[in-house]
Amino acid sequence: MSMKVNQHEVSKGSQGAVSRFLKMLGPGLITSALVLGPGSITLSSKIGAIYGTQLVWILVLAVILMASYTEMSARIGLAGKATFIGIVRERWGKIAAIFIGIGAFLVCASFQAGNAIGTGIAVEAITGVNSKVWIIVGTVLAVGLLFFTHFYKILEKLMLVLVIIMLLAFLITTIVVRPSLSDIFSGLIPALPEGSVGLIIALFATSFSIVGALYQSYLVREKGAKISQAKETVAEAFFGIFLLGFISFLIMITAAAVLKPMGIVVNNAIEMADILKPSFGGFAVFVFVLGLFGASFSSLVGNATIGGGLFADGVGLGHSLSNIKVKIAIIGVMLIGSIIALVFNGAPVNLIIFAQGVTIFVVPFIAVAILVIANTKSIMGDLKNGLVSNIFAIVGLLVLVYLAFNNFKNIFLG
């Protein structure tokens, strides 16, 4: 009898632990979903197609650095009495807060077109209906989501579904492809193949999104997490970023196994699906396109939420996702991206250069601000950074400064 009771209690305890973990998944999954967009899929495919598994180690490093800033941001969201930009405003003034808000808005708006196009071409590949129709439909659906009661809860559940779709789609594709395990392990040994620097920089830029990491602090606050839940919140942040890296990893090794032997270079995400068709039939293509849709639509919603949310807080309009002014700012990012996608069939080169120019100045400033705030005892209390967090954060900051310098050189001196 006692054995049955004990087994029942263990079962209840396990279910309770799982339930608590699932409840805390939201912010990390949202960050993961919004960072992994069609651009990330294309880049992971391209790197795998050209260099096989040789650059897997770079992806691992980028994910570790992204995780370090995401978990710092999560702790700031728990410990801070104000939002991140609110803290910046109090310590460094209105100009610094506005700088972050406007910078985040411009960067997100500039790259939103790619998310809209990715959503459109993914659905077109399945339905045969022109992608521009689906760009409009996707944008209307995304705008409609904003006006649901308890938008955050809807966003959380939507991202959970889309991340599961992405994970299953790319996992199934990987199982079908059956990449070499020895090649994968050899890719964990650092190497810099000739001509790979440009793609390495691009991989860091897409996988190590400091703006996405920053917004984790807002999502934690929106979720209503308490300081007493610090361990669960940090674990959840790490898990969300691990998923981001794992999905990118699956795409890279799949491309390495299929495309590299064929000498095919991927120029966009939909090409990856088309190339799989002769070898693996419609099933692999369908699940890959489903994953592309999950990545594109989650970024369409998530990227706009970041850009609009940070802009609204930066200029003093509020920060809660239930605030109508915040919703209008989010809609602004969505509409700009969709209009650019419809008119130009992609983000114009000048717009991308402009976004990179803004990033040069905004991103290092945000990283320094996160690091300084996370080390301020009066704000963080017991959640202040430890030695390990600071080591990874400093390495990440050096990488971001290098990326900013490289962009500056290419834009203004190239």
Q: Among 28, 64, 105, 88, which residue's Cα sits nearest to residue 370? A: 88
Handedness of CA 360, 361, 364, 370 (dihedral sign): negative
| Amino acid found at 37 | G
Look up residue 21 and give its amino acid. F
Give me 206's structure tokens.
Answer: 């897409």
CB-count exposure of residue 149 (10 Å: 0-12, 13-18, 19+): exposed
Domains and CATH numbers, the chain: 25-413 (1.20.1740.10)
Report CA 402 to chain centroid distance, whole Å: 21
Pseudo-torsion of CA 301, 306, 308, 310, nearest 10°?
A: 170
- What's the distance, Cα to Cα, between the start and end of the chain in Å? 78
Query: What is the token pair recorded at 201?
Result: 């920089």
The pTM is what? 0.86
What is the C-alpha to C-alpha distance for residues 42 and 295, in angstroms, rounded to an integer?
A: 11
Encode the chain (414 residues) as per-residue pLDDT tens digits. Answer: 444 545 554 445 545 555 555 555 556 667 767 677 888 888 888 999 999 999 999 999 999 999 999 999 999 999 988 999 999 999 999 999 999 999 889 888 877 888 888 889 888 888 889 989 999 999 999 999 888 877 777 877 777 777 788 788 888 888 888 888 999 999 999 988 988 888 888 888 788 889 889 989 998 888 887 888 888 888 888 888 888 888 889 989 988 988 888 888 887 777 777 777 766 777 777 888 888 888 888 888 888 999 999 999 999 999 888 899 999 999 999 999 899 889 887 666 666 666 667 777 888 999 999 999 999 999 999 999 999 999 999 999 999 898 888 878 877 776
Contact of 46 with 265, CB cutoff 8 Å: yes
**What does the alpha-carbon distance between residue 384 and residue 195 come to, in Å, rounded to a whole number?**
41
Closest of 181, 242, 239, 212 to residue 59, by C-alpha: 242
**Residue whose pair of structure tokens reads 């430890």 in the numeric block:** 386
3-state secondary structure of 265: coil
Report residue 381 as tokens: 């209390």
Q: Which two tokens stand for residue 270?
A: 């939909």
Q: In whole angstroms, how large is the CA radius of gyration of the chain?
A: 21
Predicted confidence at residue 12, as pLDDT, reads 52
Q: Is the dihedral of CA 219, 221, 225, 228 positive or negative?
A: positive
d(CA 31, CA 212): 6
* Cα distance between residue 240 and residue 145, in whole Å: 22
314 to each of 80, 87, 194, 331, how far by Cα in Å? 16, 11, 42, 16
12 class by beta-carbon count within 10 Å (0-12 exposed, 13-18 middle, 19+ buried): exposed
Residue 385, both tokens = 């950074």
